[in-house]
Structure 1
Amino acid sequence: MRAVLHSERARLTALYGTLLVLAGGGLVALVNVLLRKGLGSRVNGAVTTVMPGVPVRAGDPLPDGTAFVPAQKLPPGVAPTEAQLARWAATKNVSRAAEQAALHELTVVSLIALALFAVLSVWLAWWMAGRVLRPVGVITEKARRLSGANLHERIALRGPPGELKRLADTFDGMLDRMEGLVTAQRRFAANAAHELRTPVAVQRAAAEIGLAGDPGPQKVARIRERLIAVADSSEHLIESLLLLAVSEEGLESVEPVDLAALADTELAAAFPSGGSAAAPGEAADAAPTVVRDLAPLTVSGDGALLGHLVRNLLANAVRHNRAGGRVAVATSAAGVLTVSNTGPQIAAADVPRLLEPFRRRAERRHTAGEGAGLGLSIVASIARAHGAELLAEANPEPDGGLTVRVRFPVAPGPGRPGVRRV
């Protein structure tokens, strides 16, 4: 009973019922007030020509032998007679009695009708509140049953457009995003475990098999190089995972960053010769050509994370380029950083997949310089942390490759998504 009394349905019932009863009571009071003002004169006019207990019509003789004459106003200056005053007093008494009887009957009937109206109003209010709150109950029950095993379920509320329909649709949209995040998290954890397990298995195999027995110095040197390479790859993977986690948390503080100068610095580091640099395993003459168009561009953000963003874009552009290809880097005053590279042809449907962690254009072969598949996902995470929009699209033939644009807010203000001010 206590739960019922403290439910939203009971509160809405009390509200609706009270409003309806007040409206009914106000209507009854208004009718009584209006009748009290005009009922007396109307009753008096109706009986003013009739004496109590004497049913007469115009022209009929009265008991004293005189003819019945309707009431008329006395001429000015003429005083009423004793008989006229007596008749007026009797008529007044009849009018007052009729008025009081009519008002009493009206009050009793009105109160009975109001009582019945109040009962009906409360019942209608209870039924209406239940109908209105039924979608809320559906949403509540669905939210109570949600878990990681049934995130695919949706409310799918059917009904006319309204606040509750929008609430249910918003809840369904939130479930879509939650399901996507949970799925991505599970996939990320599984891929991370696989990526970390592989180098550990390689190290173990190298130690147990390669160093078994009494290996010679040359074999020990090869195994040592192999173990160091696997350790370096594992260290790079762990650092990438940590960087991805840090960028997902948002920014601790922001400051003006000259993105054009930062891109120029990263280009100088990636291409020491000033124009080209070979990807791992490539000859120097097969290195891509650099095309730069760095217009002044200053954004608000974290300089270290933005450096990682530019560095990962350049590394991805070099690693997935073709022999003698091209890397183009540009900044614009409109707040856009663009990095484009030639390379293998990429299907447009595969581009969004490349922005997910541990996703590559081809299956991993665990070769030197291959990377862990975290570069573009780290770029996307850093862009989100800076409130920037990341757009990636495949280049048409014959160049192929990928073009990545990071559109930063031109006039960043407080409260940008992903930014925490200190």
Structure 2
Amino acid sequence: MPKADVPPEPRAAPRPAPRARRRLRTRIILSFALLGLGLTLLLAFATNWVRGRVEEDMITDLMDRNINAYAERFYASGGRDIGLPVQQMYGRVVGRDKFETLKKEYPEWYGFGDGIHPMSGRNEDGTPFSYKLAVRKTPDTWFFLAYDMQESVRRTEKFERALYIVVPVFTLFSLLLGWWSASRVMAPVSELARRLRRSGTSSDPEALAPYFAGDEVGELAKALDDYSDRLTDVVQRDREFNADVSHELRTPLAVIRGAVELLLSKPELDERTRARLQRIQRSEQQCTDLISALLLLSRNERAVGECDVAKVAQQLLDSHRAQLGGKPLELRLEGATRLVVDAPESAVSVALGNLIGNAVKYTQSGGVIVRLHDRAVDVVDSGPGLSAEDAAKLFERGYRGTHAGHSQGGGIGLSIVRRLCALYGWDVRVRPGETQGVVATLTFG
């Protein structure tokens, strides 16, 4: 058998670790919650901004009209400050002779030009103040009108606190709405999955489409029914083909077995004829075992039974020893004399026979040793080895190694071994020999 420096499983390019995927129901709920949170935040920001702009425009317009009215009342009263009957406003008129006094008392007011100016800060006692100051200046008289903004600031803070409550409430409402919507949307999908799982456990699956409305889920159920029908037809044809092939092949093999046994019972046979008949007998047994193993693989069924691995290994070695011709090759069995596994003899014979057959085929001289352990069998050869490409594809169906040359075979033997191991929970591996060749290990689970 060719040797390998790596396990026989094909090496695939490293694949990125799959990202954790949330359930579709969870994604729908999260989408509703995020949508509700985003819309609520956007609405709260827009409402607060519009409210602030509207209030700002109203106050500015109010102060513009009132300071103009303040100046008109001042001149109409003959230069007397009679005030304004408006709450939250404080007016002051400064004559030319008081300009310098104003500069000392309110330097900010002194420097302002005509217009509306925001003012904020803290009083001497630490309390905050906020107001808007309207200014109208003439050469002889300056008019000032202050509008107290503390009430507006308090309303703004109260409004913002209300938004802090509204946003979580509406987000929670969106979460509940998403949960309800996801439950309604996913209910038919979950029902379809439940019925599909139940249908998969039956040899005669029931139709799914009659249980669903004519929506997208109903269309999916109809497509699954069509696929199930086609798959059932394929499986049925495959079962019938396997049963027919098994029956049709077993019949002539049984005839061959009976004829060979009858011929071998004759005492007048010469040794050469007897050896040829025994070879036919071994080949018939190998064909029978192979048919049984392939039938198990096609049905994916694990047949029960007890198999003495040492006995099977000895029979296989005897069979190959009779076919060596003049090849200088020693075949021997070592190790434990009794290793019994819970499997039919045909399965063990096919799996172990392929490993021994490959070892004998690729080893031109030296020896092939079958070594028995407690729960495993080693097939050790002194063959030419195996390239890296062969090591990667050794157990692929149809692959024939670079050392195959013109030898017969379709390259499916080791593929069958791999499938049998998967069916019975066994394991097959190859590793380099201590000096040359390889060691193929078949471990029974």
Task: Give me the TM-score of the superposition, normalised by structure 2.
Answer: 0.36
Larger RCO (CA under 8 A, 6+ residues apart): 2
Higher Rg of the two aligned structures: 2
**Structure ranking higher in strand proportion:** 2
Task: Give me the TM-score of the superposition, normalised by structure 1.
Answer: 0.38
